[in-house]
Structure 1
Amino acid sequence: MNNEEMTIQQKNEAHKRKIAVRNTVILSGCGILLILFFIISMNTGYTKLTPFDTLRTLFGGGTDKENLILFDFRLPRIVISVLVGAGLALSGCIIQGISGNGLADPGLLGINAGAGMMVILYVLFFGAKSFLSTFTLPFLALIGAGVTAIVIYIMALKKGEGIAPMRLILTGVAVQAGISALTTVLVIKLDETQFDFVAAWQAGSIWGSNWKFVIALLPWLLILIPYVMMKSRILDVLTLGDEIAYGLGASVEGERRKLLGAAVALAASCVAVSGSISFVGLISPHLARKLVGPRHTVLLPACAMVGAVLVSAADTIARVIVQPSEIPTGIMVAIIGAPYFLYLLARSKQ
């Protein structure tokens, strides 16, 4: 190896080290920001708790009222908002990676709507307040989201070419419109109590704000998130295009189906607990990609943290902006997400 080749290699290694340090700093910053929002959210609400009161309550020195506020009302909801944000963000990142379309998102493609329709069917026939529903709803939501994803996948598939990105978006929008129309018909049949619940759910209110729902959601994420992280290099290969991926020895359609299944399960389990929250799976991957670049080894954890921060911050603002009432978290996320979606559409025309 001559001197020129050694110099180039040294520069490449130095560049890689620089990127690794930069990404570590960014991920650490995202983690600190998430912890900061977690702390702010614990101290924010209709009933005021000072940081000292919160700290004292966390270590067992709180009054009965402070324990009730913090451990029964605020902490479960904060934990759920963090988990839901991470799950929806990862689902969107996977769908964008396997489809090659930066506008893909489980909400926009109708996957959330499919999960939601099954939830509404359950509410229509059984109600949603039983203990059994806490653990049943994620499975039912998965069935609805899975059937929707299969329909969209088949209709977006071009023979011999794989998934057509534009066809994926158009098919998803059409399927979502059809499901929304059917959902409206179902809502007409609900009684007053069921209607109030479904209206709050459709607006993205984090209705499952107790520890039962944390326990119901957590196993899904503990299984699916490590699996998705293990597939980060496969996602990198799939983003290169089908021909290159085949050339590198990847089982393109098989891996795509597995990852799509993981994305659908993540979205369905989160939707069953949080209601219909859109745009998280669209915004978070774009913001994370700008921060750490396109490599999924780093992009996936960054995306999860960005999504967790986004939903946590939106939920905190939604709880306090019109006290003593509150705005559904999904509406607050939409206030942020809709303009950003229009911005992405404007850029895609260039």
Structure 2
Amino acid sequence: MSTELFNPLRQKRSIKLVIIMFTLLIVGFFISLNVGRYSIPPMEVLQTLMGNGSKKQNIVLFDLRLPRMIIAVLMGMGLAVSGAVLQGISRNGLSDPGILGISSGAGLAVLLFVSFYPSNNMASPFFMPFLALVGAGLTAILIYILSYKKGHGISPTRLLLTGIAVGAGLSAVSIILTLQLNPRNLEFVVTWQMGSLWGSNWKFVLALLPWIVILLPFVYWKSKILNMLSMHEQITGSLGVSIHRERLVLLASAVGLAAASVAIGGGIGFVGLLGPHIARRLVGPQHQFMLPITAFVGGLLVLTGDTIGRSFMEYTEIPAGVVISLLGGPYFIYLLMRTKG
């Protein structure tokens, strides 16, 4: 175990992959700056970034595309690492904020606020993450209680099934509430639920950034604890780890990352499922190597999904959540087929 955790060859491979992923992210970022309803040639993008663009180009790049792309990357990182944490503490590779119903809880909290307190400030970027955190946190507590069995702890299969059931129930309540909304609020909610990165200005970037900057390093700091929690509980307990306390702390971190990301970027699913799985295939299951790759993969997924959605059709855009679901849905079915009861 120790030789695996501190394998210098794996560490070098992880560093190389981080550099590759960072390069891919920069390339994807630059490509995304070029595409959209108003196409800007690459050289003009560079000129605009250096302060030599036209007024229209400055508005398109700095006021519209750049904050939206930063939100896409931050949201993807948050959702992917949240999924990695949930998979680690539950020992279930199918865990994901969306699949477990945590995103549905965050969405329901936002929807309840919109339904019963409609105002021009309903979409306050600094209030929405805290609102979503309450909904996601209560949902996570409910799922944890229903999944826990005295003397046996958390069963990965029971956790997954409980999350799916709770998420389905919350989604049904959300649909009922959505039917009662006036046209203006309905448009906002539908846009948000489809994961179209509705919050796309610098206020939303500033609202999401602290959650990512604080929680991602904290989760990485807990990477060795995640390695231990991924083992059987009896082994973890014998190593002197307070299982329930560490699990709750990490669960709170995962909920915070998912809630803030969903509140700002909308309901994008499967990023928390795909990101960790791709990272494990690249560097293995040890979290100190896997978490940085997971974050970059998540950022690339959402950025790519948003770029494809903006460029696929000429006069309309496909929400990033729909694009990612087209990939994530079949992959989830594939994982279900491979999973042994």
Q: TM-score, normalised by structure 1?
A: 0.94
Number of residue-to-residue matches in the alignment: 338
1:306 and 1:128, CA in 2 relative to 1: closer, same or farther beyond 3 A? farther
Query: Which aligned pairs between 1:163-202 and structure 2 lie closer than 5 A?
Result: 163-202=154-193
Structure 2 residue identity aligned to 1:214: V
| SS of aligned partner of 2:124 | helix
Structure 2 residue identity aligned to 1:323: E
| SS of aligned partner of 1:160 | coil
1:132 and 1:191, CA in 2 relative to 1: closer, same or farther beyond 3 A? closer
Structure 2 residue identity aligned to 1:44: V
Which runs of 5 or more residues in structure 2 are unaligned? Answer: none
| SS of aligned partner of 2:198 | coil
Which runs of 5 or more residues in structure 1 are unaligned? Answer: 1-11
Aligned to 2:134: 143
1:98 aligns with 2:93: no
More deviation in 266-275 or 119-128? Answer: 119-128
Per the TM alignment, residue 19 of structure 1 is displaced from its structure 2 partner at its CA by 2.2
Per the TM alignment, residue 131 of structure 1 is displaced from its structure 2 partner at its CA by 8.0
State the alpha-carbon separation in 2 of the partners of residues 172 and 47 from structure 1. Answer: 42
Contact 1:122/1:128 (<8 A) preserved: no
For the aligned residues, what is the CA RMSD? 1.5
State the alpha-carbon separation in 2 of the partners of residues 69 and 276 from structure 1. Answer: 25
State the alpha-carbon separation in 1 of the partners of residues 66 and 122 from structure 2. Answer: 20
Could you say which structure has the larger radius of gyration? 1
1:272 and 1:54, CA in 2 relative to 1: closer, same or farther beyond 3 A? same
State the alpha-carbon separation in 1 of the partners of residues 300 and 265 from structure 2. Answer: 15
Correspondence for 1:20 among 11, 24, 28: 11
Per the TM alignment, residue 123 of structure 1 is displaced from its structure 2 partner at its CA by 1.6
Contact 2:103/2:267 (<8 A) preserved: yes
Contact 2:125/2:204 (<8 A) preserved: yes
Correspondence for 2:240 among 213, 237, 249: 249
Structure 2 residue identity aligned to 1:332: V
Question: What fraction of aligned residue pairs are identical, expressed as a percent?
Answer: 51
1:260-296 Cα distance to aligned partner (Å, 9 max, x none)? 0000010000000111111000111000000011110
State the alpha-carbon separation in 1 of the partners of residues 193 and 120 from structure 2. Answer: 17
Query: Which aligned pairs between 1:195-344 and structure 2 lie closer than 5 A?
Result: 195-344=186-335
1:264 and 1:128, CA in 2 relative to 1: closer, same or farther beyond 3 A? farther
Q: TM-score, normalised by structure 2?
A: 0.96
1:61-120 Cα distance to aligned partner (Å, 9 max, x none)? 111100000001100100000000000000000000000000011100100000000111
| SS of aligned partner of 1:260 | helix
